[in-house]
Amino acid sequence: MRQRLVRRYAAERRFRRSGLAAVVLSIGVLAFLLMSMAASGWRGFVEQRIALPLDVAASASAGEMEDAVAMAAEAAYGADGLDYISESAWKTVRDAFRADSSLAGTSVVIPVPVSSTLSTALRGSGPETLVAAAQRLDAEGKISTHLNTHFLTGADGTDPSAVGIWGAFKGSLFTMLVTIVLAFPIGVLAAIYLEEFAPRGRWTDLIEVSINNLAAVPSIIFGLLGLSIFLNTMGLPRSAPLVGGMTLALMTLPVIVIAGRSAIKAVPPSIRDAALGVGASPVQAVAHHVLPAALPGIMTGSIIGMARALGETAPLLMIGMRAFITTPPDGISSPSSVLPVQIFLWSDEISRGFVEKTSAAIIVLLAFLLAMNAGAVYLRNRFEIRW
């Protein structure tokens, strides 16, 4: 008797310990992932600038300014000077003049972005002479580190020091918007109809099985579907968030229907009886009582489905969202990229400077995802009903 008791407690302790170990392990893996991302990604959010003394007239045109900046670089750093500054350095000068017009026409020192070769050299890789030059410049205090605002406001490009994530971020935002506007109402209505009104029978069973299967179809198949229907048959614009959103809506729809049905099923039937009992029509019973009670569950399920859609790459490649697009989209029908595709494209670049941009873009995507999941938790807690 005593022995059995001892064994039982031992088993209990073992079970708890292994549970704890599993949790610690998964937290550890997650922390490692986040830390390695942050370690290599933070550089993507900053840029190094080199001090550039110059004197440009206020009336200089864009071309004149570009020439003036190039000449100033050569004057300050010799023949190699032009290699030290980024191609878009003159834009920084222009912006600085715009921000403070008293600077123009006087001798000023403006920190301008370094070229990606110099930035690589500053980190100690690349040709030895350049690395040595970089170290010398750094020791002389010519190099400073700034927040890379262009990364947060620009779009894709060929020069890794001048690319931005805003274009892809906006593309993802528009795509998600289209997806949610299409998939949420349709999915919820379908779930309500199937759960509350559809006659039970072979057809309903067939539909149920089909929906469950659709949720398990590989996403690239939805991309093919989008390609052949939305692009080839309907002739919608290629590479646009509209089509991307529609394709992802197809993919998310079954997830929302399934989440919706189980949330509706979890509402106690006594609530329906109560509503019908005071003379509510079936639609009123659903709209006034069942749906509000099921909404937190529906929203949680939908946001998880949306989060999956946000991370999708394959179906969007099929509908042309891998195009090289250098301006942020200004609507759902203008060509655009999305975050996961942008990450995929940058990770494919050979140029060294893109590595940190890739990590930085992953951080942005993870932040987006975290925000969405936090939203899901908030909505659930806000609207949850305790029986």
CB of 16 to another protein, least distance (A): 34
Nearer CB in complex with another protein: 166/383: 383
Footprint of another protein (CB under 8 A): 200, 268, 270-281, 284, 288-289, 293, 385-387
Contacts for 201 with CB less than 8 Å, ≥ 6 apart? none
CB of 197 to another protein, least distance (A): 12
φ, ψ for residue 240, nearest 5 deg = -95, 145
Nearer CB in complex with another protein: 382/387: 387
Nearer CB in complex with another protein: 272/308: 272
- Distances from the Cα of 331 to the Cα of 50, 151, 242, angstroms: 37, 21, 9
Nearer CB in complex with another protein: 143/285: 285
Alpha-carbon dihedral sign for residues 34, 37, 43, 44: negative
Nearer CB in complex with another protein: 123/289: 289
- Please give the order of strands across the beta sheet that includes 143-147: 108-113, 46-54, 143-147
CB atoms within 10 A of CB 11: 10
Q: Could you give the CA distance from residue 360 to residue 164 in angstroms, rounded to a whole number?
A: 10
Nearer CB in complex with another protein: 220/276: 276
CB of 374 to another protein, least distance (A): 25
CB of 286 to another protein, least distance (A): 12
CB of 386 to another protein, least distance (A): 7
C-alpha distance across the termini of the chain, in Å: 41
CB of 293 to another protein, least distance (A): 6
Q: Could you give the CA distance from residue 156 to residue 162 in angstroms, rounded to a whole number?
A: 8
CB of 206 to another protein, least distance (A): 18
Q: Could you give the CA distance from residue 122 to residue 164 in angstroms, rounded to a whole number?
A: 21
Nearer CB in complex with another protein: 32/197: 197
